[in-house]
Chain A
């Protein structure tokens, strides 16, 4: 346990010491939040202000988990750091669980800053149901942390990591209901959007935390996100490779596509 705590504390400090992680965990989400708050005023876009808190929290989750979390995993594997960890008895589970946990802590700090300051500075409406907000946040963070880990585990190198991350990040920003209302999307696109955890997150935040109209079943959205996160974590552990030079692997990285199954089931049901 002492080893795990040591590992956790070191990894948490790294999230602030490392310039890229500091940018992705704090500067980018808070900078984007401040910019959106200043640009999207109540007069210009009242609909945005209504969902500003969840939208900016979703953005913070996306930045930390997709742009921050995977790259250090790939870089560490390429640099032989995981080999050294293996030799010294550091379990694979810790290598994945510790950055996942510390990323969640960074996200919670940013979410608290946004939630507490948005009503004050930008006149955003207060949350109606705080426990539901917390539950939805945890489901969303869990789902995206799993995806971030999975990208870090399957990417062959850091360049590929960026591609995979953007493949999830950009649609999540555009289609989840953060920037454009979900009900304005064409039916086909709306179905595709529900393959993204951010769409489920925005829907659950609106319905459960802000008491706004749900676009689809918000409880189902929570279930899908928790299930999606569990599948992603399971796949990340299964596909984890200690060594970039190791030619033998448990399974083809394409197996990672199984992470979509809970979301596709969600769309079908």
Chain B
């Protein structure tokens, strides 16, 4: 059984009459990258902030490495690293000063090597406001991991980054994970969540609606698999090409595209049909529904979720 880095059970938090989190439950295994997904107002930020010790839950159970975030804040500081979405740094602080400053409060030696690894060597003496968005994010990540936290919280770490910076940051996240750090990744970017997360939790209207690996989550939906086929001659355009489990079909240039609810019988039937017409296959692509498709399906169709859904 995997050791749990984070446990959240029946977490509830309200602001006046507004219920920000109502019955949120999930657990994160040590060493995994765990995606926290949900539309705006789903309760992601409230959950993250409560795990970081910035908010006190109204009720429920929360532990980070066995620590109660609302009661043991000083112990919590030593085991967590946080990259906030907002700046979190004074404009006039330099990169080197920021590293010295935060390392000193964590009682560790400054990790100047991280500044180099993040590609900020040339910017060591630059003030924070002189850095680009990508450089700011990389600095924030360097500061968040400088004291070697056991759990790292990343809130929209790649928002506003160009493709190269994004790839670089993902590679750094993998390095940090390889060192044994558990990463909680809150993001709106479904492609990022699917690529980076070992498991994800989808929150909706303050409740957990689904927890699992991206593969598990995408395979459980009613999403249609897209099958694109190109043949030597346009055999598939002839009448008679009706295949099982296909709910709709279309064309895109030389490709015939089928949306199937059950890819096995559909692909077999297509290949049999092409062979029977003595045609030959040039290209066949199968694209399963993405996490984004499944997320949209869940968030657009889900009624008010129940706690049983999350189990």
Enumerate chain A interface residues (CB-CB to B < 8 A).
2-3, 6-7, 10, 13-14, 17-18, 72, 76, 79-81, 83-84, 86-90, 242-243, 247
Contacts and interface: CB of A to CB of B under 8 A. Distances in A.
Chain A interface SS verdict (over half): helix
A14 B101 CA distance: 13
13 contacts: A6-B104, A13-B97, A79-B87, A79-B88, A80-B87, A84-B88, A84-B89, A86-B53, A87-B82, A88-B102, A242-B54, A243-B54, A247-B16
B3 interface: no
Contact of B106 (A81, A88, A243): A88
A86 B54 contact: yes
Given A3-B105, A86-B54, 10 more contacts: A3-B104, A3-B107, A6-B101, A7-B101, A72-B90, A79-B87, A86-B53, A87-B52, A88-B82, A88-B102
Nearest to A86: B54
A86 B88 CA distance: 10
Contact of B77 (A79, A87, A242): A87
User: Top 6 nearest A-B pairs by Cβ distance?
Assistant: A84-B88, A80-B86, A3-B104, A89-B77, A6-B104, A3-B105
Interface residues of B, number: 29
Contacts of A10: 93, 97, 101
Given A14-B92, A89-B77, A247 B15 contact: yes
Contact of B89 (A6, A7, A81, A247): A81
B84 interface: yes
Contacts of A86: 53-54
Contacts of A2: 104
Interface of B: 15-16, 52-54, 74, 77-78, 80, 82, 84, 86-93, 97, 100-102, 104-107, 127, 143
B16 A83 contact: no
B47 to A, nearest CB: 15
Contacts of A17: 92, 127
Nearest to A247: B15
A81 B104 contact: no
Name the residue in A80, A84, A243 with the highest tally of chain B Cβ atoms < 10 Å from its Cβ: A84
B105 A88 contact: yes
B127 A81 contact: no
Contacts of A6: 100-101, 104
Contacts of A79: 86-88
A83 B84 contact: yes
A14 B78 CA distance: 28
Nearest to A17: B92
Nearest to B82: A87
Nearest to B87: A79
B105 A87 contact: no
Nearest to A3: B104
Contacts of A18: 91-92
A81 B97 contact: no
Contact of A89 (B84, B88, B93, B105): B105
Contacts of A242: 54
